[in-house]
Amino acid sequence: MENVVVEINGPLAEVIITRPKALNALNYATLEELKSVFSGFAENSEVKVVIITGSGEKAFVAGADIAEMKDYNVLQARTFGRLGQTVFSLIEKAPQVVIAAVNGYALGGGCELAMACDMRLASTKAKFGQPEVSLGVIPGFGGTQRLPRLVGKGRAKEIIFSGNMIDANEACRIGLVNRVCEPEQLMDEARALAADILLRSQTAVAFAKQAINTGGNMDDESAFFYESELWGACFSTEDQQEGMDAFLNKRRPEFEKKK
């Protein structure tokens, strides 16, 4: 791959978008590479947590590649938009926990990529926005749907309709970002969070992600029923036996040793 680097260390994978001269903008080739990476993760039971970030100091992903799509016709634009939506849905539905480490500009497609992840950690230098209306278009990689679900319709409309950027602290205040840290600490913070998650039952974490993501698209009664089904399914697992036995015997659970 030319635009994406993948580093795997046991159960942790790091995905780095590497187009620094273009501020890591998402062109067709980069989206195809991300699609290949996350399609592979869908079949990889060894990787449990993925951290995604951008290379360089200026940008996570500055957006979609405007130079590439400027002269698209309607059909080409729809195809490109659907590719972005497909890739980001793969990320959102990945069996792994996916953490975005946002190190700089996360604009347009970059903000949409971050929102497809389970959590977002941002450096103090990060900037977020959906500036598409300044280009005569709308967010096309899921931004009109994910942003309102994260921050509410009113705030999402303000961000999308104005096209203005917000800084990391404001993004954290409105719930777009989980936490903010100094740039030099960003990857350490992301790895520490990944390490915390990896201490837990990975079966339970996967079930919890499934309950949150799937239940969020259901009515309340159906969502509660779905949660109860997954809750019950936990009691068929070795992790449930190990976790509760460890609690009762006042010891640390050792989930991986039970595999």
Question: Catalytic residue numbers?
Answer: 112, 132
CA distances from 63 to 26, 67, 180, 209, 259 (A): 6, 11, 21, 27, 41
Residue 60 class from Cβ within 10 Å (0-12 exposed, 13-18 middle, 19+ buried)? buried
Residues 134-172: b if buried by 16+ CB within 10 A, e if exposed: eeeeebbbbbbebbbebbeeebbeebbeeeebbbbebbb
CA dihedral of residues 84, 29, 44, 211 (deg, nearest 10): -10
d(CA 69, CA 161): 21
Facing residues of 59 across strands?
Answer: 105
Residue 47 main-chain phi, psi, to 5 deg: -80, 125
Give just the sign of the alpha carbon dihedral 147, 151, 156, 162. negative
| Separation CA 44–CA 199 (nearest Å) | 19
Residue 63 burial (C-beta neighbours within 10 Å; 0-12, 13-18, 19+):
buried
